[in-house]
């Protein structure tokens, strides 16, 4: 009788020990599973951070050649500016009262001819000269447009847009372009005005058959990219203020032209870009024709206020 009583407690102890071991094993399995999930989440987050860090490092390295804003005053002389209500007076004031096609193409050709005589361009050894080089670069960009819809659906699209020019053109071309932009800073305003005139009179100038073609559909994509996407705005934010506002200014003009041609398929509302650009340009120095740009923007502001309200 005494042996039976001793056996019963022993069995109970053994069962309790087994249950305790089972509980410990279950706890270890749960913890291991949680750690695995945590490692997976951390791994994904680290990959995203690594990609962002590469983009940031690359941008800082490539931004080094750029000059300071204080050197941004245009060195060109005799650039006449005229503002008006019509679109052809919004090309930063290029006086093209003669033949706009020949005048514009001649102005661009003079820029490339002078460029080819610069020592730093000769040292770059651009195949076919600067004009042929820019035609190649422009065609690459037009053939590989950035994402302008559903960009925020995933992080990868935003990062790809932020590094769009590097991905399409490559490091060597980016270095070459940034060097030209830094050393030709004083010519950016007249050259961009010439290119916009080329866009503005594209239908009239078909007979001229200028080798640089800028279709409205492609320009619309890039204007939307700079004005209406995180990647495009991120790219401009990393540029100096004078260049940033100049690019935005011509993007606004292109969008206005698209509206007049009923070529705004995404229905982009440019009232906000116009309003914000007026404030930004007012505070920006380094633009020779700043007053004319502001006059044109104020006219556009009034135009769209009349059409759609504030």
Reported as a single tens digit per residue, the pLDDT across 124-174 is 999 999 999 999 999 999 999 999 999 999 999 999 999 999 999 999 999
Mean pLDDT of 102-125: 93
SS3 sequence of the chain: CHHHHHHHHHHHHHHHHHHHHHHHHHHHHHHHHHHHHHHHHHHHHHHHHHHHHHHHHHHHHHHCCCCCHHHCCCCCCCCCCCCCCCHHHCCCCCCCCCCHHHHHHHHHHHHHHHHCCCHHHHHHCCCCHHHHHHHHHHHHHHHCCCCCCCHHHCHHHHHHHHCHHHHHHHHHHHHHHHHHHHHCHHHHHHHHHHHHHHHHCCCCCCCCCCCCCCCHHHHHHHHHHHHHCHHHHHHHHCCCHHHHHHHHHHHHHHHHHHHHCCCCCCCCCCHHHHHHHHHHHHCCCCCCCHHHHHHHHHHHHHHHHHHHCC
Q: Name the residue with tokens 């750690």.
A: 35
Which tokens is 162 given?
């932020």
Range of 274's domain? 89-308
Cα end-to-end distance, the chain, whole Å: 100
3, part of any domain: no
The alpha carbon of 157 is separated from its chain's Cα centroid by a whole number of angstroms, namely: 13
64, part of any domain: no
pLDDT tens string 250-277: 999 999 999 999 999 999 999 999 999 9
28, part of any domain: no
Question: Exposed, middle or buried, 247 (CB in 10 Å: 0-12/13-18/19+)?
Answer: buried
What is the pLDDT, as a whole number, of residue 15? Answer: 57
pLDDT tens string 290-310: 999 999 999 999 999 999 887
155, part of any domain: yes
189, part of any domain: yes
pTM of the predicted model, to two decimals? 0.70
Name the domain count of the chain: 1
Residue 42 has pLDDT above 90, yes or no: no
Q: At what angle do helices 188-200 and 241-260 cross, to 10 degrees?
A: 10
206, part of any domain: yes
97, part of any domain: yes
What is the pLDDT, as a whole number, of residue 96? Answer: 42
What is the pLDDT, as a whole number, of residue 41? Answer: 43
68, part of any domain: no
């Amino acid at each position: 009788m005494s042996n039976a009583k001793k056996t019963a407690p022993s069995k109970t102890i053994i069962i309790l020990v087994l249950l305790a071991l089972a509980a410990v094993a279950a706890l270890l399995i749960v913890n291991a599973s949680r750690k695995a999930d945590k490692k997976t989440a951390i791994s994904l987050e680290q990959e995203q951070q690594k990609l962002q860090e590469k983009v940031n490092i690359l941008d800082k390295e490539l931004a080094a050649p750029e000059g300071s804003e204080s050197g941004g005053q245009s060195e060109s002389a005799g650039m006449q500016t005229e503002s008006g209500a019509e679109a052809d007076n919004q090309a930063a004031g290029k006086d093209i009262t003669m033949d706009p096609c020949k005048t514009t193409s001649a102005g661009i050709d003079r820029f490339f001819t002078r460029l080819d005589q610069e020592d730093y361009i000769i040292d770059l050894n651009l195949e076919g000269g600067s004009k042929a080089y820019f035609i190649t670069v422009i065609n690459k960009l037009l053939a590989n447009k950035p994402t302008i819809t559903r960009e925020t659906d995933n992080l990868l699209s935003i990062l790809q847009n932020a590094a769009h020019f590097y991905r399409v053109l490559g490091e060597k071309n980016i270095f070459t372009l940034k060097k030209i932009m830094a050393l030709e800073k004083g010519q950016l305003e007249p050259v961009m005005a010439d290119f916009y005139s080329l866009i503005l009179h594209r239908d009239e100038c078909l007979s001229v058959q200028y080798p640089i073609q800028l279709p409205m559909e492609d320009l619309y994509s890039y204007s939307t990219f700079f004005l209406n996407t995180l990647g495009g705005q991120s790219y401009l934010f990393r540029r100096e203020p004078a260049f940033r506002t100049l690019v935005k200014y011509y993007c606004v003009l292109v969008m206005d032209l698209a509206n007049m041609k009923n070529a705004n398929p995404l229905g982009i509302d440019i009232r906000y870009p116009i309003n914000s650009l007026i404030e930004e340009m007012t505070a920006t120095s380094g633009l020779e024709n700043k007053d004319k740009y502001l006059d044109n923007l104020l006219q556009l502001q009034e135009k769209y206020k009349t059409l759609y309200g504030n």
